[in-house]
């Protein structure tokens, strides 16, 4: 499928997801680029996809410890959307520490310019209007005090849905929470052969990343106990298994 472009140069499908049908949304902003597939997370992805496409859930917060893969999951699901939104915007909040700057950050990312005598919030609501837009707000834990600002935005923009990644809940009206747990770990008290160990997502991820660095690496009955011990030491956090592949 040709990569259609907007007149303003914004493209779509930045992570190479294959749409399942329909017309995929255009992207505003560039999410992290991932060079590897998503391991596990089938249940979380299915639930998140259902929540995002459910108009009754317009504010969804992905929460969990740092390195657990909240951003990766959010980007993957957003990239696979084939209905419900005309646009998807990825906005990074890691550099933002002042919750008063949240509205300005969103407006800047969307190219919204306020008129003289107009507040940033009013300008943003008027500019978005009826647009069917999914906003992915990443690393929001530093500015959770701005939660009410997001609620006001949703109130004025019926076509907007917010997908927020944060280590801390926003605790505002209308928030739907999806906890992202560490990947499943083998029980250290129950040694398993390679065939049984390979059923754990944490082990699958470790084996995949190890094979990328050393093509001859394989999970065997001989190294199964060592691999299990390493995965247990990494606490099931995908970021710990991916030192060479970028953010999660």
- The pLDDT of residue 240 is 57
Same domain for 172 and 199, yes or no, is no
CATH of the domain at 108: 3.40.50.300
Same domain for 44 and 137, yes or no, is yes
Q: Give the CA dihedral 127, 129, 134, 140, nearest 10 degrees.
A: 60
Is residue 35 situated within a structural domain?
Answer: yes
Report yes or no: 170 and 146 within 8 Å, Cβ to Cβ: no
Same domain for 171 and 201, yes or no, is no
Same domain for 57 and 130, yes or no, is yes
Give me the sheet containing 160-166, strands edge to edge: 26-28, 87-92, 133-138, 160-166, 59-63, 175-179
Is residue 6 situated within a structural domain?
Answer: no
Q: Please give the structure tokens belonging to residue 156.
A: 């004025």
- The pLDDT of residue 32 is 83
Name, of 21-30, 111-120, 191-200, 230-239, the range with top average pLDDT: 191-200
pLDDT band at residue 244 under the 50/70/90 scheme:
very low
- pLDDT > 90 in the chain, percent: 56
Same domain for 47 and 152, yes or no, is yes
Sign of the torsion angle spanned by Cα atoms 82, 133, 146, 94: positive
Same domain for 30 and 129, yes or no, is yes
The string of pLDDT tens digits covering residues 90-123 is 999 998 888 889 999 999 999 998 888 788 889 9
* Cβ within 8 Å of residue 104, ≥6 positions away: 120
Q: Mean pLDDT across the chain, nearest whole number?
A: 84
Same domain for 136 and 50, yes or no, is yes
Same domain for 63 and 132, yes or no, is yes
pLDDT band at residue 225 under the 50/70/90 scheme:
very high
What is the number of domains present in the chain? 2
Same domain for 51 and 110, yes or no, is yes
- The pLDDT of residue 167 is 96
Is residue 107 situated within a structural domain?
Answer: yes
Is residue 145 situated within a structural domain?
Answer: yes
Is residue 30 situated within a structural domain?
Answer: yes
Q: Please give the structure tokens belonging to residue 95.
A: 């550099």
d(CA 165, CA 222): 39
Same domain for 95 and 198, yes or no, is no
Same domain for 155 and 208, yes or no, is no
* Cβ within 8 Å of residue 41, ≥6 positions away: 69, 73, 76, 180, 201
The string of pLDDT tens digits covering residues 54-102 is 777 999 999 999 999 999 999 999 988 877 889 999 999 998 888 889 9
Report yes or no: 61 and 74 within 8 Å, Cβ to Cβ: no
pLDDT band at residue 247 under the 50/70/90 scheme:
very low
pLDDT at 227 over 70: yes
Q: Which of 133, 150, 179 is the last residue of a domain?
A: 179
Same domain for 198 and 170, yes or no, is no
- The pLDDT of residue 15 is 39
What domain range is 235 assigned to? 194-241
Query: To 10 degrees, what angle do helices 201-213 and 224-233 make?
Result: 110
Is residue 186 situated within a structural domain?
Answer: no
- The pLDDT of residue 119 is 85
């Amino acid at each position: 499928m040709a990569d259609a472009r907007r007149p303003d140069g914004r493209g779509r499908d930045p992570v190479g997801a294959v749409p399942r049908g329909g017309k995929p949304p255009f992207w505003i902003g560039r999410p992290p680029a991932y060079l590897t597939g998503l391991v596990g997370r089938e249940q979380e992805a299915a639930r998140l996809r259902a929540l995002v496409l459910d108009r009754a859930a317009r504010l969804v917060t992905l929460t969990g410890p740092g390195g657990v893969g909240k951003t990766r999951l959010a980007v993957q699901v957003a990239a696979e959307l084939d209905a419900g939104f005309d646009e998807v915007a990825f906005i990074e909040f890691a550099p933002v520490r002042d919750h008063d700057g949240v509205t300005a950050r969103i407006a800047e990312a969307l190219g919204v310019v306020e008129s003289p005598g107009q507040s940033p919030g009013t300008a943003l609501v008027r500019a978005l209007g009826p647009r069917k837009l999914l906003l992915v707000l990443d690393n929001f834990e530093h500015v959770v005090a701005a939660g009410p600002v997001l609620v006001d935005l949703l109130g004025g923009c019926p076509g907007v849905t917010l997908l927020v990644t944060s280590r801390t809940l926003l605790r505002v009206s209308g928030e739907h929470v999806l906890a992202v747990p560490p990947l499943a770990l083998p029980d250290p008290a129950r040694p398993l052969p390679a065939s049984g160990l390979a059923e754990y997502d944490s082990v699958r991820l470790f084996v995949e990343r190890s094979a990328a660095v050393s093509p001859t690496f394989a999970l065997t009955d001989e190294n199964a106990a060592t691999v299990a011990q390493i995965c247990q030491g990494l606490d099931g956090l995908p970021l710990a298994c991916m030192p060479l592949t970028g953010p999660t």
